[in-house]
Amino acid sequence: MPETMKLRSLAADVRAARSERGSSYTLRRQQLLGLKTMLLERGPEFEQALLTDLAKNPVESEITEIGFVLAEIDHALRHLRSWMRPRRSRPPMTLWPATARTVSDPLGAVLIISPWNYPLQLSLAPLVGALAAGNGVVLKPSEISPATSAAMALFIPQYLDAALVRVVEGGPSETTTLLDEQWDYIFYTGNETVARIISTAAARHLTPTTLELGGKSPTFVDGTANLAHVAKRLAWTKFVNAGQTCVAPDYVLVTPDAHDGLVAALESAVTDLFGTDPQASTDYGRIVSANHVSRLRAVMPRAGIAFGGQVDAKTKYIAPTAATGVKPSDPIMRDEIFGPILPILKVADSAEAIGFINSRPKPLALYVYSADRQVRRDFETQTSSGALDINVGLAHMSVPGLPFGGVGASGHGAYHGKRSFDTFSHAKAVLSKPLAPDTLSLIYPPYTAAKGRMARGLLRRLSR
């Protein structure tokens, strides 16, 4: 059978496999345990793949990729039975006797399209939710991180039910073929341009989607914050994975009283993290491809480089870089940077920062470093973002009880923890009422004057 024909049958294949195998607690638990065993047994192979694709240090891979997914799996295993339990509701008196409950049904065939920047985490974390919810899944990793994609394609069939979970490698052609199929749900992590293509394809079949996108996530710093502590946290969250993180701080808005001190503290923090020569550090990653190096070099500010700025295209290295004196109209402020360049802009105060943020598309994350409680409260109540972290960065992603997702142009839908289970489930209403006694006679025609008086009286009493 031609490869395209195989891809065109995948939605039906995994839907049929899910229907045949059912969606029992035991089966779901088996799949989650298989995924956990794969990560524990094949961790070294995945670390090597991530090193090949992104020059990720194995410790960084453990923290941000393998360990992250293991935590999601363990959380799901602890709570799976309670998540699956029907939730009872009390019917109104007009329906007594009756019982009402909400049942979480699997959606069926799910397509997960994942990106290259955290190729393991952003493939397997949504897979945890889809498996916990009892679905069949087709996973399409990014071709831009080929070593990690190949590792998943090799190991997932060995540890999971190969009929329920399929991995499709390839590029835009394979993705386009998959999108022609009718899925019960599509989960996409990536950029806004591709998200529009996916939304258009999904609309043809009225397929619901989760779109985890990105945007220019801002950071605000004022003079009340401890700048040494801020700089260490800000430097790590910006330069981990060489800045290729969807929730990385994209730019900094800083008050004049903190500007010079923050820049100096950031340079010191980069040295603490990666040494005086980050290019020689095994703890600092590389840009994923030559095309992305060219893209980043094109938007690198030509003046105002506070530190960094070095580019070695041959090794796909761009130094941790901070730029001052940046204007809102500069090229680097137009699109999400997705690299290790940090523009720093002065603002008079928190009010100006809030106005600036609100004048731009809603970000996936917003970071505020301030000891002023009112300033923190103002950002919480006067801005809109997928998440708000106060005096820390990226940390909201590691809390299973918090939803992870965007708003507006930064995406829609959310996952992690229970929200993942809900995302990949249909909340089905189930009402059961005995045939006798037939207490519904009041609503049947003919509508006599007596029935009218009884209906009005009963409904008014219930509405009090």
Question: pLDDT tens digit string along 132-179?
Answer: 999 999 999 999 999 999 999 999 999 999 999 999 999 999 999 999
Top pLDDT among 128 and 451 is at: 128
Closest CA to 111 of 149, 132, 129, 137: 137
461 has pLDDT over 80: no
Q: Quote the mean pLDDT of the chain.
A: 95
> What number is the average pLDDT over the span 442-459?
84
Instruction: Note the pLDDT of residue 464.
Output: 65
Residue 463 — very low, low, confident or very high, per pLDDT cuts 50/70/90? low
Interval 367-422: pLDDT, tens: 999 999 999 999 999 999 999 999 999 999 999 999 999 999 999 999 999 999 99
Instruction: Note the pLDDT of residue 390.
Output: 98
Domains, the chain, ordered by start: 3-213+414-426 (3.40.605.10), 218-398 (3.40.309.10)
212 is catalytic: yes
Q: Which amino acid is at 264?
A: A
Instruction: Note the pLDDT of residue 456.
Output: 83
Residue 2 — very low, low, confident or very high, per pLDDT cuts 50/70/90? very low
Interval 247-305: pLDDT, tens: 999 999 999 999 999 999 999 999 999 999 999 999 999 999 999 999 999 999 999 99
Instruction: Note the pLDDT of residue 5.
Output: 53
Neighbours of 233 (CB within 10 A): 20
> What number is the average pLDDT over the span 90-95?
87
Q: Residues 62, 212, 267, 336: which is the catalytic one?
A: 212
333 has pLDDT over 80: yes
Interval 24-76: pLDDT, tens: 999 999 999 999 999 999 999 999 999 999 999 999 999 999 999 999 999 99
Top pLDDT among 341 and 464 is at: 341
> What number is the average pLDDT over the span 223-233?
98
> What number is the average pLDDT over the span 337-363?
98
Query: pTM of the full predicted structure?
Result: 0.95
Q: Residues 246, 267, 336, 380: which is the catalytic one?
A: 246
4 has pLDDT over 70: no
1 has pLDDT over 50: no
23 has pLDDT over 70: yes
3 has pLDDT over 60: no
- Under 8 Å CB-to-CB from 70, ≥6 apart: which residues? 36, 39, 40
